[in-house]
Structure 1
């Protein structure tokens, strides 16, 4: 891959060369500072002050040139406005109108060049700040943004407010619409924008402006929560492929699969202990019954992820058939009086886990503009399924037979899910559209220069960002950086890993710690949920209905918690940095800092919840159990969203695609946690139900403390 400094030079618009950020000079300065500090020739205070002064000078150069160019565009638009008024009064001005339209498009082309100029400088500024922070281990970016973003005379804000650019875009759009509609009913872009037909140049300009104006929002937070890995800047060809592969009904079927699987996972939790007792096993065997599904999922996640490289429909069909069989066996175990059949049924259910396919479909087949909404839908479907599973269990209060088949509160979850998967299978077979695997891509030749790229993009209707070939290299801490002369080739950087060993080698210490945190929170949540029926029956003599309602209420907190956390992070970022558009420029420094703070606070709250759950001395009460469970569960949910959001930022870009992707690794970590947690419940049952609670909480406490310590050690490297 071409180093960023060289790439910047090659991509510059020739006549504007002197006005770009001098990345090469700044990089040399950073290296010189490092040498001076090593020999004691300068101190940190001087370095920070001098580097700030240089950056201010570079930004001022860019801003003044930007204002000058905006003024020239405004003068051209004023001249065209005079011609515009004259031509519209002519009765036979058809050819003149066409000429005027081309003149407006010419202004649009030059504006697009100016936006390209701004984007190049924005990336250059972001990279040099990141390089400075990485080289000196100092959060200079935080200081620089906070001091420059909110100042009333901020030149940094001038670039990213887009006030002047927005006015130019509005003038071009309005006048082109006026010329287009002057012979019929006048359609104003202000009154009825949906009825106008924007020119292709306007599409391209708006896409470039939207790219620079992108900001943190709740949908992005949920997208990170879903851990659907993706490149921040998809190429036009990649997004064009996604557009051709996208099919709304197929996406809906993926989300329904997610919902049904989560229902299937948790619908048996309130009755698993009673079912085990009715088959002659101990109540604590419910841990194995619940966990057997997770055991199989450890393996199914891998082959489903590999299968999704070739197809989406076939793995979903296979998943539905296996789940249909698994739930049928689960229901038949009662009449067969066989705990083995029960466990085999749950193993089959785990083998049908297609969550890897669900994630992969969203990542590969949903256009970038819809991907965050689809990711939020994935999280919402999971949360809703988690709440609906236990809620449905409390509705099955009946007991009857049809021939030799028994239908009661233990078997009905299996029968209901079997029917649900049968209906889903029929719907899937009729409505799912398999996306094409190979689509020819029209890629912009790499040898064309920046001005030609802009014109090519406009003429061919490409409306995505122009800076698409700058693939980052992973730094030692999992960061992405552009290092002159040391980057790998673009092909090698983008090539997905081919084995679990290769994937593991790409995990930095900070990423490993975040996977440990994910393991911890899933372990704590599984202990809480899986043993709820046994614990509440022993201490409080709760009925199945009471347990189901309790678990359903816990599940219903998932989505509201994520809304609150996502909104909080967005709002706090706005308050501290004035304009969330600086997130795009400066590599999300402020957002990352907030995420790390919430991460550590959430881990501590999980620890508090676990400590409050122990039964020591005093009689165990319902308020203590419910309160501690709520603290543990809600804190774990907050932690999950923040943890996966951080993981998606610091994990290697090579893990964003292929079989062994970041989503698979996180799924495996969480599934392994559930397996061990459910096994812990069953093993602890040998000490008796009276000691079950404390025996299962001790490992949770140990893992939680370990994760907090590990987080503290890697806190500064999560950047």
Structure 2
């Protein structure tokens, strides 16, 4: 199965190559064969690991040099063609011969199309290099990628950077863009592509080139960076031509209903935070029981994420209806607990709210039913709805400053959040019932690209590896020899290797060390954020005597930083630094925010609390974007679909972090409110330091 999987990937890689350039691509088949030979030689004792490392490095250097020299040759040809076209353009402008300008524009577009082919060539080779590095690491059980990237990527004569960073191609892109812009009719405008704000150029060729360059360099804009938070995985291998078939599954109002569900659920999550401590005290419990009250929703969500993810394999409408009904009942019980004077009813209501979490359905609908051309915008909408809900929840709680009774039912700042959300979910249920259109699940099998099965084969091999990587059985050897004879494993490989993970355990077995580190980072940032948000009401009341309104303003202000921070990072910072650099820097900033939050010797001030909380929250938001971006790159493609997908794993990691954080608040409350702040920050500090160490250890594998 291991060999067949690698053959399937090699076959797919070959099929997508530009035929006339086949001799210049990475020789994936040869390198796969060499890895097998190394394993045999080490087994019989004719090679040691050090020599294998050096020999494979030399071979990889040769492959990369072949790619880079061809790339430079093609760049030179494109530059020569652009130079000749420039001479023609200058001559036509001097002669004021406007009739031939359209022909010149077409000539520039032809050069642009050839540049697109070259970018596609580079991208396929970059994917092939990443895959062979992963294969080597899995086969031999030590970090070749770490050694290779560390020694090659940062060298002043690095050829590896030419492949992964497309050095020099930007100049060709700029030349084509500038000249096409000059040939456009601008009614006498002298603006150029270099002016700020840049002159917009709508030429489809340039737009395609820009998209290809951004994809290759992982360049981002605000929408792209924001969409990364949704963690919707895409196929890694690029396609030469964007072909998309509209199978009729997409419905705009249905997408809008999914986003509305996301927004309402986030409002529901955070609307009780400013008043949870007061509500607990009014029912005779300690203020720190707010941790359990807030965390009860997350506890239920750990389980609801699984069954909603499984349910979405068959339907989207029914789980959304069930979610709305459960949330309506849960919020009603939460509000009624005050008059019933029952902390148990309060907790059951919050548990029901957690059981109604349909975020897995919301994410799955975007992944399965939204066309590729607008999927990024839909993903950004999902994240924006979450961020807006996070800000609106506490803000609404701050507005509910009243106290009255209707038919012996109390309406005050503790119960109004429950009543408001119950009404909201009831109205949403009516809208859902009237407007939602269930997409056809029968088309899903045909909708999935054929190559996804083949990709699952190669990923299964890459991610699982061999239990004893240096020992090759006779059966495996025969399989590999057959595989070298153009064996097509896509038809005969075991069905299990094609399928998504069928359980949490099987999904966990697909996780590499790099993926585990990214999940640890996600756990850490969610834990730190939950500690900050959930205990804010208790801490600010104890130290500063804040009212519910002040707590609500503070929490809403934190929520409102999400979109501006993503604009800055997505548009500027992520294009200036690598994701792994931003990842490590963000972790350090979260650590600084945690350290500054401790109450040590000096009196605790509002300035210290607000500034440290802001640093921690903003850094965690930045960290979440790059963390999920890297996670999608290093995670197995088998985890991009099915019930137990990567989105579910990340959701579970984040939800468990929230549960533990909320439990920590309640447990620490038994030691007294004076110790609550420092006691709850210690686990955040330890986990953050651990994640930084783990990131440093896997840093070069995130290349």
TM-score of Structure 1 vs Structure 2, range by shorter chain: 0.7 to 0.9
State how far apart, in whole Å, the 2-side matches of 1:350 and 1:555 are. 21
What's the counterpart of residue 183 of structure 1? none
Q: Are 2:637 and 1:653 aligned?
A: yes
What's the counterpart of residue 412 of structure 2? 408
Change (3 A) 1:144 1:126: farther
Partner residue of 2:499 out of 495, 499, 502: 495
**SS of residue in 2 equivalent to 1:660:** coil
Q: CA deviation at 1:5?
A: 5.4
What's the counterpart of residue 346 of structure 2? 342
What's the counterpart of residue 693 of structure 1? 677
Q: CA deviation at 1:357?
A: 0.7
Q: Are 2:160 and 1:142 aligned?
A: no
Partner residue of 2:379 out of 372, 375, 379: 375
**SS of residue in 2 equivalent to 1:245:** coil
Contact 1:227–1:645 (CA<8 Å) still a contact in 2?
yes
Change (3 A) 1:18 1:705: closer
**Following superposition of structure 1 onto structure 2, how do residues 62-81 of structure 1 map, counting pairs within 5 Å?**
62=74
What's the counterpart of residue 69 of structure 2? 57
Q: Are 2:622 and 1:631 aligned?
A: no
Larger mean Cα displacement after TM superposition, 240-249 or 664-673 = 240-249
Q: CA deviation at 1:551?
A: 1.0
State how far apart, in whole Å, the 1-side matches of 2:449 and 2:299 are. 48
Change (3 A) 1:533 1:161: same
Q: CA deviation at 1:617?
A: 2.8
What's the counterpart of residue 91 of structure 2? none
Q: CA deviation at 1:327?
A: 0.6
Contact 2:327–2:353 (CA<8 Å) still a contact in 1?
yes
For structure 1, the 5+ residue unaligned runs are: 75-84, 86-104, 175-191, 195-201, 447-465, 574-593
Q: CA deviation at 1:571?
A: 2.8
State how far apart, in whole Å, the 1-side matches of 2:662 and 2:599 are. 20
Q: Are 2:212 and 1:212 aligned?
A: yes
**Following superposition of structure 1 onto structure 2, how do residues 434-445 of structure 1 map, counting pairs within 5 Å?**
434-439=438-443
TM-score (normalizing by structure 2): 0.76
Contact 1:610–1:632 (CA<8 Å) still a contact in 2?
yes
Larger mean Cα displacement after TM superposition, 611-620 or 490-499 = 490-499
What's the counterpart of residue 686 of structure 2? 702
Change (3 A) 1:567 1:426: same
State how far apart, in whole Å, the 1-side matches of 2:166 and 2:396 are. 58
Q: For each residue in 1:161-218, what CA deviation from the matched residue of structure 2 results, as whole angstroms up to 9, or x when unmatched?
A: 4689989999xx99xxxxxxxxxxxxxxxxx999xxxxxxx99x89975763444222
State how far apart, in whole Å, the 1-side matches of 2:233 and 2:53 are. 45
Q: CA deviation at 1:269?
A: 0.7
Contact 1:8–1:120 (CA<8 Å) still a contact in 2?
no
Q: CA deviation at 1:12?
A: 6.1
Partner residue of 2:435 out of 431, 447, 463: 431
What's the counterpart of residue 472 of structure 2? none
What's the counterpart of residue 89 of structure 2? none
Q: CA deviation at 1:36?
A: 11
Change (3 A) 1:469 1:213: farther
Q: CA deviation at 1:13?
A: 6.7
State how far apart, in whole Å, the 1-side matches of 2:635 and 2:231 are. 11
Q: CA deviation at 1:148?
A: 7.0
**Following superposition of structure 1 onto structure 2, how do residues 251-262 of structure 1 map, counting pairs within 5 Å?**
251-262=255-266
Larger mean Cα displacement after TM superposition, 230-239 or 611-620 = 230-239
Q: CA deviation at 1:436?
A: 1.1
What's the counterpart of residue 225 of structure 1? 229
State how far apart, in whole Å, the 1-side matches of 2:422 and 2:336 are. 11
Q: Are 2:627 and 1:615 aligned?
A: no
State how far apart, in whole Å, the 2-side matches of 1:308 and 1:377 are. 20
What's the counterpart of residue 602 of structure 1? 586
Aligned length: 628
Contact 1:494–1:653 (CA<8 Å) still a contact in 2?
no
Q: CA deviation at 1:712?
A: 2.4
State how far apart, in whole Å, the 2-side matches of 1:635 and 1:351 are. 30
Q: CA deviation at 1:128?
A: 3.9
What's the counterpart of residue 522 of structure 2? 518
Change (3 A) 1:9 1:349: closer
Q: CA deviation at 1:717?
A: 2.5
Partner residue of 2:302 out of 287, 298, 302: 298
TM-score (normalizing by structure 1): 0.75
Partner residue of 1:555 out of 542, 552, 559: 559
What's the counterpart of residue 82 of structure 1? none
Q: CA deviation at 1:418?
A: 0.6
**Following superposition of structure 1 onto structure 2, how do residues 341-360 of structure 1 map, counting pairs within 5 Å?**
341-360=345-364
Contact 2:112–2:209 (CA<8 Å) still a contact in 1?
no
**Following superposition of structure 1 onto structure 2, how do residues 142-291 of structure 1 map, counting pairs within 5 Å?**
142=153, 157=168, 161=172, 212-215=212-215, 216-217=219-220, 218-232=222-236, 240=244, 244-291=248-295
Q: CA deviation at 1:402?
A: 0.8
Q: CA deviation at 1:253?
A: 1.0
**SS of residue in 2 equivalent to 1:473:** helix
Contact 2:332–2:349 (CA<8 Å) still a contact in 1?
yes
**SS of residue in 1 equivalent to 2:410:** strand
Q: CA deviation at 1:272?
A: 0.8
State how far apart, in whole Å, the 1-side matches of 2:696 and 2:268 are. 37
Partner residue of 1:363 out of 367, 371, 381: 367
RMSD: 4.8
Q: CA deviation at 1:243?
A: 5.2
Q: CA deviation at 1:70?
A: 10
Change (3 A) 1:438 1:65: farther
**Following superposition of structure 1 onto structure 2, how do residues 525-536 of structure 1 map, counting pairs within 5 Å?**
525-536=529-540
Q: CA deviation at 1:537?
A: 1.2
What's the counterpart of residue 667 of structure 1? 651
Change (3 A) 1:308 1:72: farther
Q: CA deviation at 1:143?
A: 5.0
Larger mean Cα displacement after TM superposition, 486-495 or 603-612 = 486-495
Contact 2:542–2:673 (CA<8 Å) still a contact in 1?
yes
